Each structure stands twice: as structure tokens, then as C-alpha cells.
Amino acid sequence: MPDPGGPPGFPPRIVVVVKALACELPSRLGIPLSRFSREDLKRLVMEQGIVASISGITIWRWLSEDAIKPWQYRSWLFPRDPEFAIKAGPILDLYQKKWMGMPLGPRDYVISTDEKTSIQARRRKAETLPPQSDSTMRVEHEYERKGAVAYFAAWDVHRAKIFGRCERKTGIRPFERLVGQVMNQEPYKSARRVFWIMDNGSSHRGERSNARLTKTWPSIIPVHTPIHASWLNQVEIYFSILQRKVLSPGDFESVTDLTARIYKFQEYYEAVAKPFKWKFTREDLKKLMTKLDEQSQLKAAA
């Protein structure tokens, strides 16, 4: 029961209705919003006559009981490759140091590779100011374009080693220069097998690419991710770290300055790097595919 003289209580039915509204996409209700804030929900429930008056704090408290946060969102990639599970499984096994049901040996290595295209060298039109006791770092919004580079990187999954090179543009030859940079040094030069995990970008897709790589370096085993599944490639985690720590916000005098900063960061990061704690396994993949199949069946039956 509500406290005497305190705010009026709401029956459970009202709480359920508000939570149900919070779990709807606003556009499906004819509301021109991408997501609800608690104040949006407050306005909606009052306009629909669900309650005569309510506070945003009350709505927030109800939603927090079920960890419902309609004002937040998370981007994700929906599996589109019809052979998604078939292609993803071996990659997940490699992260667990297995291949075709057998453990990897001491002379087996796993490399995750990709390229980050068109990294802009932007020179700010006013000097970037460092943080002060009463202000954050300040970065001028306007900038001059000083050129761009493509950054090719290869991440040794189990040894936490990063190899990279900046090139003027992407392509087969720049990618193969990265492969040579890795494969022509130890321990990869004398390895029994070196698994290269890569996406289906034009620099390294298809049987022709596989043939070129294995002809030059017979110990290489190319392993391609499913289509539209960059999240399976561990080097993308390194790229996100590079983006946060080096490239955003960017203020570079020239392409030379940008390139030098990237190379210095490679050394800086590798000095403290550890293998990423990859927790998504083949068993998790089975659960995900089962869930997606069930959702597709429900959608088809609707």
C-alpha cells in the first residue's frame, strides 16, 4: 500500500503496460523517434490515457527492475551467409587452439588479418589544447585533408604479436607484402602450419588468392570468415583499440606524421598486449544458430 500522504500507487497492470510500450520500436507506434527516452515514455502513457500523471523517475524505476533501457542501442551484424556455421566453426576452434578436432601443435600459429582503408590525415585548423583543471581536451572541428593511408595488420592470436604496414592503397600486392613481412621471420618461417584468418575483401578472397599464398608459402592455411562477419576476426578488436587511442580525435600534420604515429603505437601496444579473452565458442555458435532459426520460423508463421 502507498504511504499515507505520499504519491499514489499504481496497479501492476499499469507497470506491465508501460514496460510493454518501452519494448516497442517507436516507429511501429507511428511516433517519429528512433528510440524512447523516459520522458518520451512519460508523455506517451499520459497521452494514451494510461495514467493521468506520472514521473519519469517512476518509469525509470519500473524499467530498471527488468534492465530495460530503450534509450540505449547496440549495433550488431545479422548472419547472412547460408554457410555461416560451417565457416565460423573452424575459426572458433582455432581460437581454442584446435583444428579439425585435434589440438594445435607447438609449431602451429594462428594469424588474424585485415586492412583498415582510407585513414585520413586531418590537420586541425587550430591547435589542439590539452586537458586543464576546468576543461577537457579541445579539438578544432574544422580541418585540412593531408592525404590518406591504408593500414594492413596481422595479429598473432595466441602470442599477442602485431605486425602492420601502411600503404598508399589496398590491393593484392600490398596485402602480400604484409604476408611476406610476417612469413619471412621466425617462428613463422619454419612453422609447420600458419593459419591466416581473413575476410572476403578483394585483396585476399577466392581460390586464386589461396593458390598464390600457398604457392609462395606452403605452410599457410587460409581460413575465410563467413560473409558479413567481421566480428569473428580478432584483428578487428585491435583496429578498434587503434581507432580509440590514436585516430580519434585525429590531428596530424601529414601522412608521414600519421604513419609514424601508427607504427609507434604498434610498438607501444605490443609491449603491454595480451591475447584477447575470446569467450565465444562453437557451443555458443550452436545456441546462436538455434535461436536465429527459431526466430525465423516464428516470423514466417506470423
Placement of cell 588468392 in the chain = 209
Query: What 8-state DSSP symbol labels residue 51?
Result: -
Rounded CA gap, 184 and 217, in Å? Answer: 9
pLDDT over 90, % of the chain: 84
Neighbouring residues of 294: CB distance < 8 A, sequence distance ≥ 6? none
Instruction: State pTM to two decimals.
Output: 0.84
Rounded CA gap, 236 and 242, in Å? Answer: 10
Placement of cell 579473452 in the chain = 277
- Name the nearest CA neighbour of 65 among 3, 9, 22: 22
Confidence of residue 301 (pLDDT cuts 50, 70, 90): confident
Peptide bond preceding 249: is omega within 30 degrees of 0, i.e. cis? yes
84-126+140-270 under CATH 3.30.420.10, yes or no: yes
Q: What is the mean pLDDT of residues 235-261?
A: 96
Peptide bond preceding 187: is omega within 30 degrees of 0, i.e. cis? yes
Task: Supply the pLDDT for residue 8.
Answer: 58
Predicted confidence (pLDDT) per residue in 211-228, tens digit: 999 999 999 999 999 998
Task: Supply the pLDDT for residue 6.
Answer: 39
Q: What is the mean pLDDT of residues 46-56?
A: 94
Rounded CA gap, 95 and 157, in Å? Answer: 7
Q: What are the boundaries of each domain within the chain?
A: 12-65, 84-126+140-270
Q: What is the mean pLDDT of residues 157-166?
A: 98
Q: Which residue(s) pair with 135 in the sheet?
A: 132
* Position 110 pLDDT exceeds 70: yes
Query: Could you tell me if 219 and 193 are in contact, meaning their C-beta atoms sit under 8 angstroms apart?
Result: yes
Query: Could you tell me if 238 and 153 are in contact, meaning their C-beta atoms sit under 8 angstroms apart?
Result: yes
Q: Is 143 helix (H, G, I), strand (E, B) or coil?
A: strand
Confidence of residue 302 (pLDDT cuts 50, 70, 90): low
Rounded CA gap, 266 and 260, in Å? Answer: 10
Q: Which residue(s) pair with 161 in the sheet?
A: 156
